[in-house]
Amino acid sequence: MYKVFVNDKPLFLTNTVEKETDFRMFLLESVDIEQLIVNMFNNKVKKAFLYHPDEKETLKKLKEKIPVAKAGGGLVYNDKGEVLFIFRNGKWDLPKGGIEKNEDIETTAMREVEEETGVSGLEITQKLQKTYHIFKRNGSYKLKITHWFEMKTDYSGPLEGQIEEGIEKVAWLNQDQIKDALTNSYENIKLLFEKTAVVKEG
């Protein structure tokens, strides 16, 4: 099952039919995807399932209905085990951005981290999950697929938020600060931390 976020509300791609309770269910083949997205943006639908019998086909079918924007981002650790966060649009986020022509996704992720935060000397330690969300740009909706990578660095210099990207603050956060930051973050970012179990219970 894939989980796509529309304005921080979950849209599940599934191959199981479930009885509607707190969600709406639609057939992926026949759904008016734009209308559904508009309804989710306008809070008319809080949670939805898109059904297709073949789970492997669900994401492919969604991509046929909505253009894809590919992005790369980093979950970056320093020598103290702190994680690199950015603060933008009133929320804590992780550095990420769109792929450029002739660039592989690992290069995108490292370039974007460096551009958005000023942190260099990055090394990818492992590939993490992808996250999915739908956003609106220039009047049309796009499905953003972000490829995430765990990275490490021994950089200890100044942090510089990329002003033209609206980044107000860049900070290294420890475990307690991460828990606090995630209460004011995006669902995709929370999901990333849940899956990587970075925030240790203790």
CA–CA separation, 27 vs 14, rounded Å? 10
CB 59 within 8 A of CB 14: no
pTM of the model: 0.91
Closest CA to 179 of 88, 83, 87: 83
Q: Could you tell me how far CA 90 lies from the centroid of its own chain?
A: 16
Tokens of 171: 């900070």
CA–CA separation, 38 vs 32, rounded Å? 10
Domains and CATH numbers, the chain: 2-65 (no CATH), 68-196 (3.90.79.10)
CA–CA separation, 104 vs 90, rounded Å? 30
Tokens of 85: 């966060």
pLDDT in single tens digits along all 202 residues of the chain = 899 999 999 999 999 998 889 999 999 999 999 999 999 999 999 999 999 999 889 999 999 999 999 999 999 999 999 999 999 999 999 999 999 999 999 999 999 999 999 999 999 999 999 999 999 988 899 999 999 999 999 999 999 999 999 999 999 999 999 999 999 999 999 999 987 654 444 3
